[in-house]
Amino acid sequence: MTEREFATEVVQRLQTAGYEALFAGGCVRDELLGRTPADFDIATSATPDQLKPLFRKCNFFGASFGVVEVLGPRGDHGEWLKVQVATFRTDGTYSDGRRPDAVVFSSPEHDAVRRDFTINGLFFDPVANRVIDYVGGRADLDARILRAIGDPAKRFEEDKLRLLRAARMAARFELTIDPTTADAIRAMAPQIRVVSAERIAEELRKMFENEHRVRGVQLLREFELLKEILPEATPEGGVVASLPGDARFPLVLMAVCTGAPTASFSAIASRLKLSNEERDRILWLAKHRAALDNAPSLPRSQLYPILAHQGSRDLIALAPSSGADFCAALLDQIEPQQLNPPPLLTGDDLQTMGLKPGKKFKTLLDTIRALQLDGVLTTRELAREKVRDLMDANEA
Residue type present at position 241 = A
HSE-CB of 374 using CA atoms within 13 angstroms = 13
What is the full DSSP assignment across 322-385? HHHHHHHHHHHHS-HHHHSPPPS--HHHHHHTTPPPSHHHHHHHHHHHHHHHTTS--SHHHHHH
- Contacts of 55 by beta carbon, 8 Å cutoff, 6+ apart: 10, 13, 70, 71
| N-terminal to C-terminal alpha carbon distance within the chain | 78
**What's the CA gap between 2 and 39, in Å, rounded?**
11
The closest of 301, 325, 322 to 313, measured between CA atoms, is 325
Neighbours of 302 (CB within 10 A): 15
Active site residue 178: no
CA distance 343 to 380: 9
* Residue 276: count of CB within 10 angstroms of its CB: 8
Rg (CA), the chain: 28
Q: Are 21 and 27 in contact (CB under 8 A)?
A: no
Distance CA 269, CA 283 (A): 9
Catalytic residue selected from 41, 159, 178, 314 = 41
One-letter amino acid of 141? L
Residue 39 is among the residues annotated as catalytic for this protein: yes
Q: For residue 23, what is the DSSP state?
A: E
Q: Which residue is catalytic, options 91, 111, 116, 178? A: 116
If we measure between CA atoms, which residue out of 93, 91, 69 comes closest to residue 82?
Answer: 69
| 3-state class (DSSP) for residue 24 | strand
Q: What is the 3-state secondary structure (H, E, C) of 56-74?
A: CCEEEEEHHHCEEEEEEEE
Distance in angstroms (rounded) separating the CA atoms of residues 25 and 23:
7
Check: CB of residue 165 under 8 Å from CB of residue 203: yes
> Residue 206: helix, strand or coil by DSSP?
helix
Catalytic choice (39, 125, 183, 280): 39
Is 392 designated active site? no
Q: Which of 287, 278, 313, 146 is nearest to 202 (CA)?
A: 278
- Active-site amino acid positions: 39, 41, 116
